[in-house]
A and B are shown apart, each in its own frame.
Chain A
Amino acid sequence: MEGTRHWRNVVVLWLIASLIMTPIVIFVFGPGLPPGNGSVEASGQVTDNTVLLATATPVALAVLVYLAYVCWAFRERTPEVILDGPAIRGNSSVQFWWLVVTTTLVLFLAGYGTVRLLADGAGGGQGPNPIAVPSAPGGGKPLVVQVIAQQWQFNYRFPGYGGVETNGIELPENTLVQFNVTSLDVIHSFWAYELGVKADANPGVNNVAYVTTKGPLLFHVRCAELCGVWHGYMFNQGLVVPKTQFAAWIARQEQLYAPATKTLPPYSKTYFPQPLRRGG
Chain B
Amino acid sequence: MSAIAMSVPAGRRTGWRKLIGFNMLTGILLGIGGWYLGHFIGDHITGAGLAYYSAEAGENDIAIFLGYFLGVVGFLIGLGFANYPLKRLLGHPPALAEHESEAEGLFRYFTLNTDHKVVAKQYMVGIGLFFFVAGLNAMLIRTELLQPNVHVFGANQYLTLVGMHGAMMMGTMTSGLLGPFAQFVVPPMIGSRRMAFPRIESFTFWLLMAGEVILLTTIFFGGFQTGWTGYQPLGAQGTAGYDAYIGFFALVGLSMCLFGLNLVVTITAMRGRGMTWSRLPIFVWAAYATAWLMLLAAPMLIAALLMGAMDRTVQTAFYIPGQGGSAYLFQNLFWVFGHPEVYILALPGMGIVLELMPVFARKPLWGYRLAVAGMLGISFLSWFVWQHHLFVSGIDADLRPFYMLSTELISLPTGFIFLCAMGTLWRGRIRFTVPMLFCLAWMFNFLWGGISGVFVSDVPSDVTTHGSFFVMAHFHYTIMGGLVFAFFAAIYYWVPKMYGYNLNERLGKIHFWSLFIFFNSTFAPLFALGFLGMPRRVVTYNPAWQGLNDWVSISAYCIGLSMLVFLFNVVWSLLIKREPAPVNPWNSKSSEWTLPTPVPVQDFDRMPVFDADPYPYGVDPVPAGGPAYAPAGGTA
Residues in chain A within 8 A of chain B (CB atoms): 2-3, 6, 33-35, 44-45, 48-49, 52, 56, 59-60, 63-64, 66-67, 70-71, 74-76, 79-91, 94-95, 98-99, 102-103, 106, 109-110, 113-114, 116-118, 121-132, 181, 185-187, 189, 191, 193, 196-200, 202-207, 209, 220, 222-233, 272-274, 276-278, 280
Instruction: Give Cα distance in the complex from A76 to B362, angstroms.
Output: 10
Docked-complex contact B404 and A88, CB < 8 angstroms: no
Confirm or deny: B531 has a beta carbon within 8 angstroms of a beta carbon on chain A. Answer: yes
Partner of A88, one of B234, B426, B451: B426
Partner of A49, one of B370, B426, B455: B455
Residues in chain B within 8 A of chain A (CB atoms): 51-52, 54-56, 155-156, 159, 225-227, 229, 231, 233-234, 237, 320-323, 326-328, 331, 361-370, 390-398, 400-401, 404-405, 408-409, 411-412, 415-416, 418-419, 422-423, 425-432, 440, 443-444, 447-448, 451, 454-455, 458-468, 531-533, 535-542, 587, 613, 617-621, 623-624, 628-630, 636
Partner of B397, one of A2, A74, A83, A131: A131
Instruction: Give Cα distance in the complex from A102 to B623, angstroms.
Output: 39
Q: Min CB distance, B131 to chain A, in Å?
A: 24
Instruction: Give Cα distance in the complex from A81 to B621, angstroms.
Output: 12
| CB-based nearest B residue for A98 | B419
| CB-based nearest A residue for B623 | A81
Known: A49-B455, A127-B396, A229-B225. A224 touches B423 (CB 8 A): no
Instruction: Give Cα distance in the complex from A207 to B466, angstroms.
Output: 16
In the assembled complex, which residues on chain B have CB atoms less than 8 Å from the CB atom of A121? 397
Partner of A63, one of B56, B418, B467: B418
Docked-complex contact A232 and B541, CB < 8 angstroms: yes
| CB-based nearest A residue for B48 | A280
In the assembled complex, which residues on chain A have CB atoms less than 8 Å from the CB atom of B618? 84-88
Docked-complex contact B617 and A131, CB < 8 angstroms: no
Instruction: Give Cα distance in the complex from A80 to B626, angstroms.
Output: 10
Partner of B56, one of A33, A220, A280: A280
Q: Min CB distance, A130 to chain B, in Å?
A: 6
Docked-complex contact A122 and B361, CB < 8 angstroms: no
Docked-complex contact B370 and A83, CB < 8 angstroms: no
| CB-based nearest B residue for A190 | B392
Partner of A95, one of B409, B419, B540: B419
Most chain A CB within 10 A, of B362, B532, B541, is at B362
Docked-complex contact A113 and B428, CB < 8 angstroms: no
In the complex, besides A79-B431, A95-B419, A225-B467, 19 extra interface pairs with C-beta distance below 8 angstroms are: A63-B443, A80-B628, A84-B617, A102-B415, A109-B408, A109-B454, A110-B404, A110-B408, A114-B404, A122-B459, A126-B394, A131-B397, A186-B231, A187-B231, A187-B234, A198-B392, A209-B392, A220-B533, A227-B234
| CB-based nearest B residue for A279 | B51
| CB-based nearest A residue for B414 | A102
Docked-complex contact A52 and B458, CB < 8 angstroms: yes
Partner of B408, one of A56, A67, A106, A117: A106
